[in-house]
Structure formats: C-alpha cells, structure tokens
Amino acid sequence: MPKPLSGRSYLVTGGAGFIGSHLIRALLERGAGVVCVDDFDDFYDPRIKRENVRPFLEHEAFTLHQTDIRNAERVQEIMSASAEQLVTGGIVHLAARAGVRPSLEQPRLYLETNVGGTLNLVEAARACGIRKFVFSSSSSVYGERPSSGPFREDEDVSKPISPYASTKAMCESLLHTYSHLFGFRVVALRLFTVYGPGQRPDLAIHKFTRLIDSGQPIPLFGDGSTQRAYTYVDDIVQGCLAAVEYDATPFEIVNLGAAQTIRLSLLVELIEKALGKKATIDWLPPQPGDVTITHADVSKAERLFGYEPSTKIEDGIRRFVEWYVAARGEESPGGSEE
C-alpha cells in the first residue's frame, strides 16, 4: 500500500507539465495538499498543460497559480500565503526551461529561468521557514564521459556540454550551499529520459510516434547507436514520492532512471511494433550538445529510498502508444504538436 501523506502539503512547480501532473495526481491520491505553480509558457502548446491539470481543479486540496518563477515577488507571495501548510511537506521543484537543443539558441533564458527561478524559490522558502526541497535535475549534467559504465552520483560533473546541463549543475551547487548555510534538506534527483502517457510532444518517443503514425519521416541524428536510459513516468513518480519522505541526511544527489539502456534504433523498432506501422527515417548528422549514452546507476536510490524501477521498455512503449492512439481521436490536445 502507498504511504499516506494526509496532513502534508507540497508546492509543486511545473505541476502542469508531464511529470508534474503525474506527481500531483499521486500526491492527491495519498491525501496530500498541493499548491501548483506553472506559467503555462509556449515552449509547447499550453492547452496540453491546461488539460493536464483540469482533473484537479475541483479537488479541495489543490490550488493552482499561473506564475513565472522568475517573478521573485510573486513567488514570495504564493509561498507566504501557504507557508503554514507547506512547512508540513515542502517543495518539489520541477519547473525549468527544458531541452538540450533549444538551450543552444537561448542560453540567457535558460540561465534566468532555471538558475534565477531556483534562487527565487529557495529564498522564498528560507523566508517562510520551509526547509524540505526536492529538485528535478538531469542526467545531462554528466556530459560526455571517458567511461562507458553506469553513471554514478559521485562522478565529476564540472564539464557539461550544453547550457541546459550547465544550469542544472549550477542549481545542484546552489542548493548544496543553501543546505549547508540554512539547514535545507535537499534531494536533487537526476532524471534519465522520462516517457509515458502525456509525454511532451517535442520529446523523441512522442515525436517519433506521431510522425510514424502519420506516415512522415522521423529525424534520426547520428547512426542510431546512441543509447538512453528511457524511464517510465510511474517509476519516476515512485522515486519523487520517496524523495519527499527522505530526511536521513541534509543533502543528497540521486539518480532516478531505468535499469536498462536502449539503442535509438531499437526504440524505433519498438514504436513500429506497437503502432503496427513502419518508419521512414531521415538520417541527419549528430547534434551538438547531445551525449552518446546515458546509463543510470540507481543503487544509491535503491539504498536510500527502496527505489526499484519496474517498467520494461517494451511495456512502457506499448502503454504510451495506447494512450497516444486514444488521445489522437479526442478533442483534447493531448497528442498535439507544440
């Protein structure tokens, strides 16, 4: 049985997004209160995000604020208004400008949102006496590594290869400072390529599925040999829920990923099989900022949280495609392109 969280409240930034909306559902189901902050930006169709939170709007334990985390004054107002409740739980910070490739074009925006927004949140939390902070970092902080083995949290991450990855590494450092100086209990979760129902339309699995389904060519950068630890969203939510409960140490960085890595070419084959359609491939040169492999060592998460990712890629892709096919025939923009 999932552990009940009744009597606790959490501020979830980016709560209208893919991972955020799955996490909010899980928190509400366990009896927690949720204050959701999201700016509904146009990185992809905002209607998708509004549809994500629509089921929660009538829930008595759910509050929604449309706010940009770059607005320090507004962040402070929201947190102050709910501080008494949030002290019982904490903050789960998922909001960010996402994506490696777009960060190459807009590095200033990524720095201002990801680092500046995180600073606004921890400063507001400090003023309100809220000391539990779960942060959504990224496997991209590992960059290109000399070793092909699993990525471990104690590795040097001082050489990221994209502005997006740099901002996530900066936030980890900032949160360590706040933990050290002000007594924050921080868990920074390095997430590995999350997918599942409701996945952002710009991400590979959703994009490939949509293009294959419509008979359009899919762009593959490189030779198809890149590998990712594609992680089903339910497994990520499991880890997030464990992180909000964890309080044994003041600061931890923890990988959340799948137990297996999958070649890009195999991923395409699995989507083809689930859709019952063949892909046409447009081969393109490798993209700057993309790493060739991500491979999660999750032994620390297992040791600290009892984390155990259980969704095989074959099952996860099948569930995603089932969701996509169902959403495709509805009025909902759930399968729309950005």
Q: What are the residues facing 40 on neighbouring strands?
A: none
Q: Is residue 3 domain-resident?
A: no
CATH number for 206: 3.40.50.720
Look at residue 2 in the predicted model and tell me its pLDDT.
61
pLDDT of residue 287: 79
Mean per-residue pLDDT for 40-54?
93
The pLDDT of residue 300 is 97
- Higher-pLDDT residue of 111 and 331 is 111
Inside any domain, residue 167: yes
The DSSP result for 322-334, as a single string, is: HHHHHHHTSSSGG
Q: Specify if 1 maps to a domain.
A: no
What are 96-153's pLDDT values in tens digits? 999 888 999 999 999 999 999 999 999 999 999 999 999 999 999 998 876 678 999 9
124 DSSP 8-state letter: H
Please choose, from the candidates 39, 201, 29, 233, the residue with its C-alpha nearest in 3D space to the C-alpha of residue 120.
39
Residue 49 pLDDT class (50, 70, 90 cuts)? very high
Query: What are the DSSP calls for 241-270, one per residue?
Result: HHHHH--SSSEEEEEE--SS-EEHHHHHHH
| Residue 62 within a domain | yes
Measure the CA–CA gap between 77 and 57, rounded to whole angstroms. Answer: 21
Active site residues: 164
Residue 300 domain boundaries: 9-333
Closest CA to 232 of 268, 254, 205: 205
pTM value > 0.95: no
Average pLDDT over every residue of 261-270: 93
Does some domain include residue 338?
Answer: no
According to DSSP, the β-strands at 194-195 and 231-232 are: parallel
Judge whether residue 282 has pLDDT over 70.
yes
pLDDT bucket at 330, cuts 50 / 70 / 90: low
Structural domain count of the chain: 1
